Amino acid sequence: MILILIGYMASGKSTLGRILSKKLNYDFLDLDDYIENEEKTTVSDIFKSKGEIYFRKAETKYLMHILENKTNLIVSLGGGTPCYNNNMSLILEAKHAKSIYLKASIPTLVTRLNKEKSKRPLIAHIETDELLTEFIGKHLFERNQFYSQANITVSTDNKTETEIIEDLVLKLF
């Protein structure tokens, strides 16, 4: 089975994916890392040199490759991946895959993202909590129609990593 983790940036996809992979003895793959390895450059450089349209097409190509060829795998997607091309449909139609939406509230995301703004080019320029809240709220509103299609939704607010993993495993099995 392939478990696909979706959600907004800082929802815990990579962190929880690594923990879950150890617990289930599955391999872990971060789609952005996979793309960088295959393209031999960074996601940032792909955006700069080839543009977002190229990146989104590459993202779909590599997602399809993973869905067709991998098993016993946990995949962490980029926050926007489910929202482009027909990626969410590809995930939902894959018989051996389950999608998991790691749902975090806007206040939780603001708190988490404030700690790592410098590592997030999309939000590095946002100076106040109020503007960050507005930015995240707008994105979540646009992306919710995709995120909400996931097979399983797990709230990450006010929970430890252990509690989230336990909740997730109960919903999975």
Q: What is the pLDDT of residue 69?
A: 81
CA 59 to chain centre: 12
pLDDT at 52: 85
Contacts of residue 133, defined as CB under 8 A and 6 or more positions apart, other chains included, come to 106, 107, 110
Give the distance between the most distant pair of CA atoms in the chain.
44
Residue ranges for the known binding site for ATP are 10-15, 120
| Three-state secondary structure call for residue 160 | coil
Residues with pLDDT less than 50, the chain? none
| pLDDT score, position 154 | 97
For residue 154, give every residue at least 6 positions away whose Cβ sits within 8 Å of its Cβ, in sequence order, or none.
100, 101, 102, 103, 164, 167, 168, 171
Name the strands in the sheet holding 97-103, side by side, starting at the edge strand that comes first in the sequence.
Answer: 27-30, 73-76, 2-6, 97-103, 152-155
For domain 2-172, give the CATH number.
3.40.50.300
* Separation between Cα atoms, residue 20 and residue 3, nearest integer Å: 10
Q: pLDDT tens digit string along 64-105?
A: 999 998 789 999 999 999 999 999 999 999 999 999 999 999
Report the half-sphere exposure of 34 (CA within 13 A, side-chain side).
21
pLDDT at 48: 83
User: For position 168, what pLDDT does the model report?
Assistant: 94
Binding-site annotation: residue ranges for Mg(2+): 14
Binding residues: 10-15, 32, 56, 79, 120, 143
Annotated binding-site positions for substrate = 32, 56, 79, 143
Q: Tell me the domain boundaries of the chain.
A: 2-172
CA distance 2 to 99: 8
